[in-house]
Chains A and B, each alone.
Chain A
Amino acid sequence: MHIPDGLMDPSVALVGWGEFLAAIAIALFFAGKAVREKDLPRIAVLCAGIFVAQMLNFPVGGGTTGHLIGGMLFALMAGPVIAMVGMTVILLIQALMFGDGGITAFGLNAVNMAVIAPLSGWGVYTLIMKVLQHGTPEPKASGLSKAEGVAVMAGAWASVFLAASACAAELAVSYAVSGGTYGIAGAVSIPAMLGYHAIIGIGEAVITVGVVAYVSMAAPGAFVKHEAPKPAEGWRKVASSKVVQATAAVLVVFALCLPLYFMYSSEGADGLEKTMEDSGVTEGEAVLTSPFSYGEDYFAALFAGMLGFVVVALSAIGLLTVIRSRKVRTEQA
């Protein structure tokens, strides 16, 4: 799943870098607080181990092989925040030392495998654990309970599948944005990546649960296994903030409504276009050709929509900050 240089449209790669830098800055902030000097070798062992595990191929069928991503494994053994930093380190070594995954595409690779994979895996795991254990986790001395096993497998599968969906969507958007110079058409990339990785996910799930079962049995204290995310307090604050809730709500509604858009968008022009048509006015040559389009399929449109939302929200916040600082300055003066 390592995207090489020159495969993605530059604008998509740039967005990927932006997303990656924002995510890693947050992760580094929290990880810097949580990591002690003596944890470093253990974390590095996890990085090295997952690097080695990524080189082991297992058969998928039809003559192709897949390899582990390991984001879920990392998140289980060291917590999601450290997993983000560690997966970034693995990807850096692959990109710099082995030419596996490009520099311009590094942001996208890191978003897929170092941000989406561990976070989604961890999220699915905690969710299932909560549902299955009704909020009263029973700490077991060693080994995995059945519920934990199910949760780990589901998390591992989801981490691979979601990372692959993100990768496929990026390829599709690149293709749509650049008009065929970059990327892979959504009609090919999305079914191929998803089908292939649904199977690879099974391998990832089986191996992850096996490794975790062994480690929790043989050396329960060897890694920080069930570290509750240290900044739980801060996270709750963020999650309970009105702005974040509103953002999540808008994005979820948008994602759910998008299929309707594709069902009805083909017929009929919108009000303005209809009016222009009626009155015989035609659209002139555009002064500025936008580098983005709304995309031709669900994922491309979803990506474009989210991108637009984030850009608008950020510029609004920036504008508000500027206005506020002006106000403060004039009040001071």
Chain B
Amino acid sequence: MIVCHVRGHRVRAEELDEHARATWLSRLDARAKLVGVIVFVVVSALLRDLSLVLASLALSISFAAMSRIPATHLARAYLGALPFMVIASVSVFLFGGLENGLAMLARTSSCVLALLVLASGTDTFDLFAGLRRLRVPALVTTLLMLTYKYILMMSEELSRMTVARKARGFAGGRSLFDARGMKVVSYTAGMVFVRSADRADRAFDALTARGFDREMMPWRRSRIAAPELSFLAWFVAVSAILMMLQLGVAI
């Protein structure tokens, strides 16, 4: 069983893409999803008025609910992103008052939630292939794909190293001033790099043997059809309304 640490949580490899099957969201073309959600996120980040920020948060939450991705999964991922948001909000609260602080928390939450739903509701390969079809350079998308695959591989290697280290009685590395401990920790990291490099070459050969190429064009391509257009139209319309209300309120 492959276990990896994602944002401090132990996640099995299958779980990462588990929710990206069999929902209406996963069947949509990745390009439409990317464009729609990113438009919404950009507009949400621009909102200043508290009631509008809350409205965008409500929209994000309802998007999450409609996507049928388990709430526990989203909540865990959201908690991982929370600390920096809270620090920022508290600091805004101290300097700019309660309303600004609340708006900051709600605004960041709304954006993070929408992105998490997009990521959890899309097969990873589809997501990156969608980016490629949106003209992101091939070097970047190929590296994205390979990196994502290798993250699991390296976490596995790392946990094996940690077990080996423990088995030899190592218990240091708790403090920055424990020079010996830090040396062992950084040597472990180096060892993970060296060992993974060999495995990576083999994995890449296996991928190319199965027809993976740098262009990352999937064999079965989805098209932009009525469902995609309505998804896109809904997000663009909602974003446009929020933006117009924001401009209207500000004047």
A43 touches B143 (CB 8 A): yes
Residue of B48, B124, B187, B190 ringed by the most chain A CB atoms within 10 A? B190
A interface footprint on B76-112 (CB within 8 Å = 1, 0 otherwise)? 0110110011001001100110001001100110111
Instruction: Give the chain B neighbours of A77 by CB distance below 8 A.
Output: 193
A interface footprint on B225-237 (CB within 8 Å = 1, 0 otherwise)? 0000000000000
* A99-B77, A102-B111, A207-B189 known; A89+B144 contact, CB < 8 A: yes
A-B pairs with lowest CB-CB distance, top 7: A210-B186, A214-B190, A44-B146, A5-B111, A6-B107, A48-B150, A41-B204
- In the complex, the chain B residue whose C-beta lies closest to that of A208 is B186
23 intermolecular pairs with C-beta atoms under 8 Å apart: A6-B47, A28-B139, A40-B146, A41-B204, A44-B149, A48-B146, A48-B151, A49-B154, A51-B147, A52-B154, A88-B140, A95-B115, A96-B119, A100-B7, A102-B45, A103-B38, A103-B115, A181-B96, A188-B91, A199-B176, A210-B187, A214-B194, A215-B190
B137 contacts the other chain (CB 8 A) = yes
B interface footprint on A180-192 (CB within 8 Å = 1, 0 otherwise)? 1110110011000
Q: Which of B42-91 contact A (CB under 8 A)?
A: 42, 44-48, 77-78, 80-81, 84-85, 88, 91
Q: How far is the CA of A46 from the CA of B77 in the complex (A)?
A: 24
Instruction: Give the chain A neighbours of B238 by CB distance below 8 A.
Output: none
Instruction: Give the chain A neighbours of B214 by CB distance below 8 A.
Output: 37, 40
Interface residues on A, range: 35 or more
* A40-B142, A210-B185, A211-B193 known; A6+B176 contact, CB < 8 A: no
Residue of A13, A77, A92, A223 ringed by the most chain B CB atoms within 10 A? A92
- In the complex, the chain B residue whose C-beta lies closest to that of A185 is B95
A93 touches B148 (CB 8 A): yes
B174 contacts the other chain (CB 8 A) = yes
B2 contacts the other chain (CB 8 A) = no
Instruction: Give the chain B neighbours of A211 by CB distance below 8 A.
Output: 186-187, 189-190, 193
Main secondary structure of the interface of B (DSSP, over half): helix
Q: How far is the CA of A181 from the CA of B7 in the complex (A)?
A: 29
Chain B min CB distance to A155 (Å): 15
B190 touches A4 (CB 8 A): no
A258 contacts the other chain (CB 8 A) = no
- In the complex, the chain A residue whose C-beta lies closest to that of B179 is A206
- The listed residue (A45, A206, A210) touching B190 by CB distance below 8 A is A210
Q: How far is the CA of A156 from the CA of B136 in the complex (A)?
A: 30
A interface footprint on B195-222 (CB within 8 Å = 1, 0 otherwise)? 0110011011000000000100000000
B169 contacts the other chain (CB 8 A) = no
Instruction: Give the chain A neighbours of B47 by CB distance below 8 A.
Output: 6
* A6-B104, A45-B196 known; A99+B45 contact, CB < 8 A: no
A184 touches B200 (CB 8 A): no
- In the complex, the chain A residue whose C-beta lies closest to that of B147 is A47
B interface footprint on A197-234 (CB within 8 Å = 1, 0 otherwise)? 00100110011111111110011001100000000000
Chain B min CB distance to A3 (Å): 8
B185 touches A6 (CB 8 A): no
Q: Which of A8-23 contact B (CB under 8 A)?
A: 10, 13
A5 touches B176 (CB 8 A): no
A7 contacts the other chain (CB 8 A) = yes
A259 contacts the other chain (CB 8 A) = no
A104 contacts the other chain (CB 8 A) = yes
* A42-B197, A42-B200, A210-B183 known; A103+B81 contact, CB < 8 A: no
A49 touches B143 (CB 8 A): no
- In the complex, the chain A residue whose C-beta lies closest to that of B103 is A181
A52 touches B176 (CB 8 A): no
Chain B min CB distance to A284 (Å): 21
Chain A min CB distance to B212 (Å): 11
Instruction: Give the chain A neighbours of B192 by CB distance below 8 A.
Output: 49, 52
B45 touches A45 (CB 8 A): no
* A55-B7, A211-B193 known; A99+B112 contact, CB < 8 A: yes
- In the complex, the chain A residue whose C-beta lies closest to that of B111 is A5
Instruction: Give the chain A neighbours of B80 by CB distance below 8 A.
Output: 98-100
**Could you tell me which A residues sit within 8 Å of B by CB distance?**
2-7, 10, 13, 28, 31-32, 35, 37-38, 40-49, 51-53, 55, 58-61, 77, 85-86, 88-90, 92-93, 95-100, 102-105, 175, 180-182, 184-185, 188-189, 199, 202-203, 206-215, 218-219, 222-223
Q: How far is the CA of A95 from the CA of B7 in the complex (A)?
A: 12
Given contacts A89-B147, A99-B81, 14 further A-B contacts (CB under 8 A): A6-B104, A31-B139, A32-B137, A40-B214, A42-B201, A44-B147, A44-B149, A48-B154, A95-B115, A96-B127, A103-B41, A188-B91, A210-B190, A214-B191
B194 touches A4 (CB 8 A): no
Q: Which of B25-43 contact A (CB under 8 A)?
A: 38, 41-42
A206 touches B176 (CB 8 A): yes
B84 touches A28 (CB 8 A): no
B174 touches A59 (CB 8 A): yes
B96 touches A180 (CB 8 A): yes
- In the complex, the chain B residue whose C-beta lies closest to that of A52 is B154
Q: How far is the CA of A308 from the CA of B88 in the complex (A)?
A: 28
